[in-house]
Amino acid sequence: MTVRRATVAVAAAAVLALLPNAAQAAASYPDPQPISGQQIIHDPTVVKLKDGRYVAYSTGGVIGARLSKDRVNWTDEGNAFAEPRSWWLDYNDTGDPWAPDISYLDGTYWLYYAVSSWGTNHSAIGVATSKSGLPGTWTDHGKAFSSQASDTWNAIDPAVIRANGKLWMSFGSYWSGIRMVELNPRTGKAVPDAKVHHLATRPDAPYAVEGPAIVRHGRYFYLFASYDACCQGVNSTYKIRVGRSTSVAGPYVDKDGKPLLEGGGTLLLAGHGRFVGTGGESVFRDKGKDVLAYHYYDAEDNGTPKLGLNELSWDKTGWPGL
List the domains of the chain with CATH numbers.
Answer: 31-321 (2.115.10.20)
Buried b (16+ CB within 10 A) or exposed e, 225-242: bbbbebbeebebbbbbbb
Q: Which residues contact 289 (CB under 8 A, 6 or more apart)?
A: 311, 312
Distance, CA of 209 to CA of 201 (rounded, Å): 6
Residue ranges, the chain, pLDDT below 50: 1-26
Which position among 43, 96, 281, 298 bears the catalytic label? 43
DSSP alpha helix (H) spans, the chain: 2-18, 21-28
pLDDT at site 99: 98
Q: Are strands 108-115 and 97-105 parallel, antiparallel or unpaired?
A: antiparallel
Please state whether the peptide bond connecting residue 20 to the residue before it is cis, i.e. omega within 30 degrees of 0: no
Query: Residue 28's pLDDT is what?
Result: 85
Instruction: Out of 96, 157, 210, 254, pick the active-site residue.
Output: 210
CB atoms < 10 A from the CB of 218, how many? Answer: 9
Residue 119 buriedness (CB in 10 A; 0-12 / 13-18 / 19+): exposed
Query: Cα–Cα distance between 228 and 174 in angstroms, integer?
Result: 10
pLDDT digit string (tens) for 198-208?
999 999 999 99
- The pLDDT tens digits for 128-186 are 999 999 999 999 999 999 999 999 999 999 999 999 999 999 999 999 999 999 999 99
Determine the Cα–Cα distance for residues 225 and 260; give it in Å rounded to an integer. Answer: 10
Active site residue 210: yes
From the list 77, 81, 143, 141, the residue with the least C-alpha distance to 108 is: 141
Tens of pLDDT along 32-51? Answer: 999 999 999 999 999 999 99
Which residues does 59 contact at the CB level (< 8 Å), separation at least 6? 42, 43, 97, 98, 99, 100, 280
Residues 95, 86: Cα–Cα separation, whole Å: 8
What is the pLDDT at residue 292? Answer: 98
